[in-house]
Structures are given as C-alpha cells and as structure tokens.
C-alpha cells in the first residue's frame, strides 16, 4: 500500500467509525457531503484516483468556506471548519493522485490557514502528507543551515517620535518571575538583547531567506496583507506562495529586490502551525506562564486554547506600519530580524483615540467591520497637522512612549495599551500573547 493509500485509509476508517465525535460533526454538516467524502476516501484507499469526484469535492470546500464565514454560533463554525479541513485533505490526496502535487500542498495549507486544521490529529496528518509530497516530488530539498557569516547592520539611534514625549523604560537585567508578577508586569518595559542566544538568532537564522525557504520546503502558501496598512482603502488580504513572498524582501543573503508599488506584509499569522520546525527556533519566556492576578481589565481572560498562549509572526519590508490599536492580552514582543519603532500609550487615553471602519477584503470578498480597538490617528505623523485630533496632541502625546527595537530585544506591555509599529528594515517579529 502506498503512502497515499495509507493516509486515505486512515481517513476512511475515521469516517466509518460513527462513535467518533468527528464523524458525528461531519454528519451534522450535510449527510450527502459526508457520503461523498467517505466514498472518495474509500476510492483513494483502494488505489482509485478519485478524479471523478473533483467537482463534488470542490463544491463541498466552497460551501464549507461560505458556511464558516456566515456561521451564527461557535458550534456551527467548528462543525464547518471540520468539514473544510477533511474535505481539503481528501482533495489534496486526489490532486496528488492526478499529479497536481504543488496544488495539493496549497490545498493543505489552505486547510491550516482558513480552517485551522480543525480536528484531533488533523494538523499532524496534514504535516505528514505535505512532507511525503515534498519528498516524493522534490527530492533533495535545500538543507536548513546557517550562513557562515553574521549579519552586519548599523545601529539605529532612536529619534523620539513627535507623537510621544517619553521613552519606553528599559530593564538592564531580566527580572525574576516573582518580580515580574508583582511589579514589572504592570507597565511596559524593554530588555535589550534578551533573545540573542535563541536559535532564530544564531544557527537557524531567520535573517536568512535560504533558511526560511528550507524550513518550509517547496510549494507552501501563506496569508499576506497587501497595502500600506489595514486602514488604507486599497488594503486586502491574499494567499500567495511563500517563496514569492520571501522574494519580495531584502535579507542577509538576498539583496533588495526591485519591488512593485504594493506593500506585502505577513501579519499576525501563526506561522508555527504551518511550519512547526520554526517553533524550535524560539524560547517562550517564563513570563508567559506567570500568574498575573492584577490587570487593568477586571474581566481579563487569557487566550482560550489549551496552553493559554498565542504565537503570531510578523514579517514585512521597511516602512511597514501597524496602526495604533489595542489587544486584549499581555504581550511579549520579540524583535528577531531588522529594527522596528514602537509607539505606546496607556489605556487611560482611550477616549482621545478614534475608532475606524475597515473594509475587510480576503480572497476577493469584502465586509465592513467596526474596529473600536484601532485608531484613525497616525501616531507616526511628523506633527505638521496638529489641527487634526487636537485632544490627541494635547492629552495623549505627553503620556505616550516610543523606542526602536533592535534584533534580539524583548518588549512587554499589558493588555489594553495602545501600540503602533513601524519597520525600519525588513523586519521579522514574534508576538506572544498570554
């Protein structure tokens, strides 16, 4: 039995086991869809390509996506995410069988990006299939090794922003966990060079495009924002090839490309779910596991996943901007490649910040969203237009803080703090919400 048949047989066995919660969930979506998936998995397990079911499978993925977008409850959303995930796995195995290997990898990445690879064991299953496809169709991929030299960058002297009268405090020595819990976690601070010894900074350098390509392998796709920032009228989100996205950026081993007018930014994405080997390149600080009984939010709730920690990657070119906004979690923000200027202001100034209406565009579909956690104020303004948002200039600027993060620096700030980010180079950052 081939590896394709083994994966298909695994799916088929799940589908015929009516005692499994996943089977009951799929049946709740649409019984005809479930039967189509079951029969397609049976065909693939027996060595039949399943090509005759391509149209039906495509219909199920399209319907599942629309149902996810329009779900009225978390239960309904979870059920259709499950259907999208399993349908994508079946679709990918059919694509491998008909020699569309690159498309199969893209299909599996979509299952991760769009549906979170929902279902016990499904993420591991998807990673296993991707690995087999890459090995079978691209033998001998480039090895993930560190370059012989080290990156040389000129240190950037931070010029205080006109919109911030104070500097973000720096702590020379990492505080103990007890000190962090009782004192330091109440206000923002920076620890310089905190992550200098992480693999992402040393033998698995994220500043190397060669390494980032190798750790993912060929054929991968990622979600990317297009536009100056998500408040811009022409802003949208697309899913594009990882290799193509990397080619748009300057790296230690890749000169600045001739860029088009479009700004591409991989923002707030769990890249570790897609490329799990990257997870070994970072070290979650002990602070993320601290018990913080105090908080500015009386109803504070940590992330709802099992370990109550959310990891997100941020990778983009020089001048990429994240508008001033707030997040509901404590944030350990680590700068790993390039430099980034940060603007911060306390929750107490929220009345002087302005919410925005945003047209969210993803894969050609648009929806207007009110984002009360995002401000219309340009916190990276040069100060020439102080007539706009006068209370911001009179009441927020005196309390706001700024700093420029260098590679290896750690920034902490509590939930509810307003923050804006601007990349000074190609920048790769990690946010750890807890």
Task: Look at residues 85, 116, 137 and tell me which one is the last residue of a structural domain.
Answer: 137
What CATH number has the domain bearing residue 304? 2.60.120.650
User: Is residue 142 in some structural domain?
Assistant: no
Are residues 179 and 80 part of one domain? no
Judge contact between 331 and 312, C-beta under 8 A. Answer: no
Task: Examine the domain organization and report whether 243 and 362 are in the same domain.
Answer: yes
- Measured CA to CA, the distance from residue 110 to residue 120 in angstroms comes to 17
User: pLDDT tens digits for 404-420?
Assistant: 999 999 999 999 999 99
Sheet holding 310-316, edge to edge: 189-191, 410-413, 331-337, 427-433, 310-316, 264-269, 221-226, 236-241, 356-362, 365-371
Residue 156 lies in a domain: no
pLDDT tens, 155-176? 566 788 999 999 999 999 999 9
Non-local (6+) Cβ contacts of 234 within 8 A are: 226, 227
Q: Which residues have CB under 8 Å from 57's CB, separation 6+? A: 36, 37, 40, 87, 90, 91, 94
**Block residue for tokens 């929220």:** 350
pLDDT value at residue 170: 98
Q: Is residue 300 part of a domain?
A: yes
Q: Which two three-digit tokens encode residue 345?
A: 């202001």
195 and 58 within one domain = no
In three-state form (DSSP H/G/I as H, E/B as E, the rest C), the secondary structure along 229-282 is CCCCCCCEEEEEEHHHHHHCCCECCECCCCCCCCCEEEEEECHHHHCHHHHHHC
- The verdict on residue 161 lying in a domain is no
Do 86 and 230 lie in one domain? The reply is no
Residue 152 has pLDDT above 80, yes or no: no
**143 lies in a domain?**
no
Q: Give domain status of residue 153, yes or no.
A: no
Express each pLDDT in 326-347 by its tens digit: 999 999 999 999 999 999 999 9
CA distances from 285 to 271, 337, 431 (A): 18, 18, 12
Kindly state whether residue 426 falls inside one of the protein's structural domains. Answer: yes
Q: What pLDDT is attached to residue 257?
A: 81
Residues 6+ apart with CB under 8 A from 151: 205, 207, 252
Domain count within the chain = 2
What's the confidence (pLDDT) of residue 158? 75
Structure tokens at 158: 């931070």
pLDDT confidence of residue 283: 98
- Do 177 and 34 reside in the same domain of the chain? no
- Answer with the residue of higher pLDDT: 140 or 255: 255
271 and 332 in a single domain? The answer is yes
Residue 325 has, within 13 A of its CA and on its CB side, a CA count of 16
d(CA 370, CA 347): 19
Give the domain extent around 391.
166-433
* pTM, to two decimals: 0.90
Among residues 99, 119, 137, which one ends one of the domains?
137
Residues 125 and 202 both lie in one domain? no
Distance in angstroms (rounded) separating the CA atoms of residues 107 and 100: 11
Q: Are residues 213 and 91 in the same domain?
A: no
182 lies in some domain: yes
119 and 9 inside one domain = yes
Q: Are residues 212 and 132 in the same domain?
A: no
pLDDT given for residue 161 in this prediction: 96
Confidence at 31, pLDDT banded by 50, 70, 90: confident
Distance (Å, whole) CA 222 – CA 200: 20
DSSP line for 1-32: --HHHHHHHHHHHHHH-TTSHHHHHHHHH-HH
Assign 151 a pLDDT band (cuts: 50, 70, 90): very low
- String of b and e for 68-80 (b: at least 16 CB within 10 Å)? beeeeeeeebbbb
**pLDDT at site 325:** 96
Structure confidence by residue, pLDDT tens digits, 53-83: 999 999 999 999 999 999 999 989 999 999 9
């Amino acid at each position: 039995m081939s590896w394709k048949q083994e994966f298909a047989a695994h799916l088929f066995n799940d589908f015929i086991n009516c005692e499994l919660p996943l089977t009951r969930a799929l049946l709740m979506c649409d019984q005809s869809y479930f039967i189509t998936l079951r029969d397609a998995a049976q065909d693939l397990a027996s060595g039949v390509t399943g090509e005759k079911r391509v149209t039906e499978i495509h219909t199920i993925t399209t319907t599942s996506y629309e149902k996810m977008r329009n779900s009225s409850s978390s239960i309904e959303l979870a059920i259709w995410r499950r259907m999208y995930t399993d349908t994508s796995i079946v679709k990918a195995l059919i694509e491998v069988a008909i020699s569309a290997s690159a498309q199969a990898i893209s299909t599996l990445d979509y299952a991760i990006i769009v549906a979170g690879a929902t279902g016990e064991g499904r993420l591991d299953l998807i990673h296993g299939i991707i690995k087999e496809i890459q090995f079978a169709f691209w033998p001998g991929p480039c090895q993930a090794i560190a370059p012989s030299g080290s990156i040389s960058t000129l240190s950037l002297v931070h010029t205080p922003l006109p919109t911030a009268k104070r500097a973000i405090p720096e702590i020379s020595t990492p505080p103990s966990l007890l000190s962090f819990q009782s004192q330091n976690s109440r206000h923002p601070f920076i620890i310089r060079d905190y992550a200098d010894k992480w693999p992402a900074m040393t033998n698995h350098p994220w500043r190397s495009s060669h390494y980032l390509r190798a750790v993912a392998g060929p054929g991968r796709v990622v979600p990317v924002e297009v536009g100056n920032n998500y408040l811009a009228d022409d802003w949208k989100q697309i899913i594009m090839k990882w290799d193509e996205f990397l080619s748009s950026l300057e790296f230690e081993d890749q000169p600045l490309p001739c860029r088009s007018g479009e700004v591409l930014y991989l923002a707030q994405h769990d890249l570790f779910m897609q490329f799990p080997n990257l997870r070994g390149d970072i070290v979650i600080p002990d602070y993320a596991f601290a018990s913080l009984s105090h908080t500015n939010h009386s109803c504070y709730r940590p992330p709802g996943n099992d370990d109550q920690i959310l990891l997100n990657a941020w990778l983009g070119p020089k001048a990429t901007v994240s508008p001033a906004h707030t997040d509901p979690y404590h944030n350990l923000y680590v700068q790993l490649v390039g430099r980034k200027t940060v603007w911060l202001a306390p929750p107490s100034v929220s009345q002087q910040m302005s919410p925005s209406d945003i047209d969210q565009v993803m894969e050609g579909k648009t929806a207007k969203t009110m984002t009360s956690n995002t401000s219309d104020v340009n916190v990276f303004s040069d100060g020439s237009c102080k007539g706009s948002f006068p209370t911001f200039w009179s009441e927020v600027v005196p309390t706001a803080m700024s700093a420029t993060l260098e590679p290896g620096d750690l920034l902490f700030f509590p939930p509810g703090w307003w923050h804006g980010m601007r990349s000074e180079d190609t920048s790769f950052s990690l946010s750890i919400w807890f």
